[in-house]
Amino acid sequence: VAGHFGYRKRDQHTWVQNFKLCDGKLQSPISISSFKSITLPLPALEIIGYHDFLSSPLYLKNNGHSVVVNVNNHLGKRLPYIFGGSLDINQEYEVDHLHFHWGAKNNRGSEHMLNGIRYPMEMHIVHRNRIYSSLSNALNYKNGLVVLGIFFQEEDNKSLYSIVNHLTSVRWINNETKLNTSITLGSLLPKNTDVFYSYKGSLTTPPCNEVVTWIIFSMPVPISFSQLNKFRLLSNGNNLIADNYRKLQNIGLRKVYIRKL
Ligand code: B30
Ligand code: ZN
């Protein structure tokens, strides 16, 4: 089966019928403009444990609407976490999983747009507020999640190799494979994390809970054409997963903040 929601235009229109929250006022993604953003003297985002190798085994899974690396069950060390930046004081957010949104062509794929640009891919590193015991629990609270949004632009990149080299093993829905090399989350981040946008929004997929503090890095990460094409072969059984991005949502009364140096 193709999963519980689809991305084609006529499918996206049905989201609100089945998932009422998708019709809310704080939905994601949005189009971000540096000119319309409010500059705040925010402290740096503290990114802890991102250079530790995640203890294996790490699994890569095709869930029918994206490809996911779960990090939440990694044992031993403390999970990588973030705090500071635009986040409420004393709130720490532990990494749960990462996944990707991509296009069939280079002119589309990212969910957020930045200064009129839609990038070919956007990675989401999803974090859960440490005060909540599970991801599903955190979905009930407006300070439940922080998602780091990372744009990719076409250019060669070594750091994605361990994930990309395993994509052929998860071509079909519910395929899962063990990564044979460990990864560090830090290698997946842009070189510069000093400049970012932040706003209050939602899950970009049903059930669309408005519980996400979005942090979108201004600097993209490079990815090669051949690496992008490996994402583009992934299937949900009926169709390619490519173009698994949600249409832009109204910003409404919300403000987008920018931290710069
Ligand atoms: S996103 O980063 O805004 N795209 C979830 C987390 C982050 C985003 C979207 C969704 C999430 O936690 N969803 C609920 C859990 N899902 C897992 C999933 O996304 O795979 C269960 C589900 O939906 O029923 Cu299919
Ligand atoms: Zn996402």
**154-164 per-position pLDDT tens digit:** 987 777 888 99
pLDDT tens string 232-249: 999 999 999 999 999 999
Query: Is 5 within 8 Å of 208 (Cβ atoms)?
Result: no
Using a 6 Å cutoff on CB, does residue 150 contact ligand 1?
A: no
pLDDT, residue 1, reads 38
Span 33-46, pLDDT tens digits? 999 999 999 999 99
Report whether residue 124 contacts ligand 1, using a CB cutoff of 6 Å. Answer: yes
Phi, psi of 223, deg, nearest 5: -145, 140
Strand-pairing partners, residue 151, are 122
DSSP state of 59: E
Q: Which residues pair with 150 in a beta bridge?
A: 123
Distance 234 CA to ligand 2 centre (A): 16
How far does the centroid of ligand 1 lie from the alpha carbon of residue 65, in Å?
10
* Non-local CB neighbours of 17 within 8 Å, separated by 6+ positions: none
pLDDT tens for residues 85-123? 999 999 999 999 999 999 999 999 999 999 999 999 999
Average pLDDT, the chain: 94
